[in-house]
Amino acid sequence: MKILHVCSELYPLLKTGGLADVTAALSNALVNLKCDARVIVPGFPAFMNGVTNKKLIQVMPEEFGVSIINLYYGTLPNSKVGVYIIDAKGLYDRSGNPYQDNQGIAYADNYRRFALLGYIAAKLAEGLDNEWKPQIVHGHDWHAGLTFAYLKAHEIQTGKKAARSVFTIHNLAYQGTFPKSIFDELNLPISFFDINGLEFYGNISFLKSGLFFADKLTTVSPTYAIEIQHGEQGCGFDGLLSKRKHDLVGILNGIDKDVWNPATDIVIDKKFSHRSMSGKLTCKTSLQKQLGLTVQNDVPLFVVVSRLAEQKGLNLILDEMPNLIKLGGQLVLLGSGDPKLEEAFRSLSKTYPKSISVKIGYDEEYAHQIIASSDVILVPSRYEPCGLTQLYGMTYGTLPVVHNVGGLADTVVDCSLENLDTGKASGFVFDQFSTTAFNAALRRAFALYKRRAEWKRVQKYAMGQDFSWDNPALQYFSLYKQLFTAG
């Protein structure tokens, strides 16, 4: 089966969040299932410089204000996944963040940059590459949303589908919304600016294009698939998603066990597994020394690896830091985002230099090191479509504290007395998004940590779970097969 993934990020070449991990790992997992899985990405410098064995396969005339568009094809490093790259001078070749400038302001021409991504993806489905044509086009998040409008426009014009299509919602809150005034630049029928199309409260939503026109919709956890059909989590699309509920399926993300595995991880101080945990203490002690924290093991070391945004519930952590420090806990944080949150955590690290360490930015190797070294990972998100950090945490025996929403609810089993008794507990879950509920979960983590035999049993259960992409990839393959056999 020939599958084309349409996305803006791809690990290890370009990553600002979990999307890059998912698109790379899913593509690799599908290749392992004998699918011919390829990816198309914008020509950001990281892709132009990082994709190997590039060859020019098409030169296209002016579109979206770009005089010449070159389409290259190469290979993702250390992978069998093929990658198409759209080289459009002036549109993608910018340093830094792929979506915004150095002041954190979204590029004014993002609509043009990602419309071109969807346009070329649809052209591939129509046969742009003489040697390869996808049967399934699978787009990820709003950046790929317009792909499905272009596929639909082709179907209306020719009377036949170029390919079957799947659109995955990684986070419904990011909607790719632009003013109506840009519609004439999109090369789409005027009828598409309609409530039964791209129109969203008088504007244009690239996300809605995927939600409305794709044959099937997926999102990244079963619970989130239910949540987005109702109320606040629906972000204005709950009515549409409820109507399309029979086309919507929640498939949990996995993690790449070739990348995230404490038994083989070459960047941590000492490897370990659920069968032999001694290396984890070595990692913890080493990290405490490296960061200038008090070297101790009688209380938990907490970790946060996160985009610093309101969604992630980080205000709960800020509110509870005095109590956490009072109980003897320590915190290591890695992340970036909201300047106010960045400054708040920096200030705490200056106040408690022996207990709190903060690094603003993102460092993939450091993320591995601090997750491997810590005892508890904090993921108190207000909402969370799936979440990957809690999966990384459990894989490394770092037990998560999570809010009972989305993929967090689907992956973490609370350390209640009943679950401890059956040996099925893997973390600490709080139901209400409040400081009080979060505080209670933290206190339960401190209490269980003192009962070291029980703590180790929970660690071993968490580490022994299968969070690989094997099962999710089979679910996606089954969904593709349904569409493919539908004709």
Q: In what order do the strands lie in the sheet with 177-178?
A: 177-178, 203-205, 199-200
Cα separation, 222 vs 214, in Å, equals 19
Do 29 and 470 meet the contact criterion of CB atoms below 8 Å apart?
yes
Q: Determine what percent of the chain is predicted with pLDDT higher than 90.
A: 93
Of 478, 5, 1, the residue nearest 249 (C-alpha)? 478
Q: What is the pLDDT of residue 104?
A: 83
287-309 average pLDDT score: 97
pLDDT tens profile 325-373: 999 999 999 999 999 999 999 999 999 999 999 999 989 999 999 999 9
Q: What is the pLDDT of residue 321?
A: 96
Do 381 and 405 meet the contact criterion of CB atoms below 8 Å apart?
yes
Residue 486 has pLDDT above 70, yes or no: no
pLDDT tens profile 153-209: 999 999 999 999 999 999 999 999 999 999 999 999 999 999 999 999 999 999 999
Cα separation, 427 vs 411, in Å, equals 9
pLDDT tens profile 72-86: 999 999 999 999 999
**Strand, helix or coil for residue 453:** helix
Q: Rg of the chain over CA atoms, in angstroms?
A: 23
Cα separation, 212 vs 128, in Å, equals 25
The CATH label, of 3.10.50.30, 3.40.50.10420, 3.40.190.10, 3.40.50.2000, for the domain at 2-254+470-485 is 3.40.50.2000
Answer with the residue of higher pLDDT: 412 or 63: 412
126-151 average pLDDT score: 97
Our measurement of the distance from residue 238's CA atom to the centroid of its chain's CA atoms, rounded to an integer in Å, reads 21
**Strand, helix or coil for residue 88:** strand
Q: What is the pLDDT of residue 96?
A: 77
Angle made by CA atoms 356, 366, 425, in degrees to the nearest 5: 75
pLDDT tens profile 374-422: 999 999 999 999 999 999 999 999 999 999 999 999 999 999 999 999 9
Q: What is the pLDDT of residue 62?
A: 83
Cα separation, 33 vs 42, in Å, equals 26
Measured from the Cβ of residue 131, the count of other Cβ atoms closer than 10 Å reads 6
Tell me the CA distances in angstroms from 458 to 73, 222, 261, 425, one per residue in order: 46, 24, 18, 6
Cα separation, 204 vs 200, in Å, equals 6
Question: What beta strand segments (E) does 110-244 contain?
Answer: 136-140, 164-169, 177-178, 199-200, 203-205, 216-219
Mean of per-residue pLDDT scores for the chain: 96
Cα separation, 116 vs 113, in Å, equals 6
Superfamily name and number for 278-464 = Glycogen Phosphorylase B; (3.40.50.2000)
Name the pairing type of β-strands 376-379 and 356-360: unpaired
Q: How confident is the model at residue 231 (pLDDT cuts 50, 70, 90)?
A: confident
Q: What is the pLDDT of residue 91?
A: 95
Of 114, 47, 106, the residue nearest 82 (C-alpha)? 47
Same fold, 2-254+470-485 and 278-464: yes
Domain assignments of the chain as residue spans, ordered by start = 2-254+470-485, 278-464
Cα separation, 59 vs 85, in Å, equals 12
**Strand, helix or coil for residue 226:** helix
pTM above 0.75, yes or no: yes
Name the pairing type of β-strands 36-42 and 2-6: parallel
**Non-local CB neighbours of 2 within 8 Å, separated by 6+ positions:** 35, 36, 38, 132, 133, 134, 135, 136
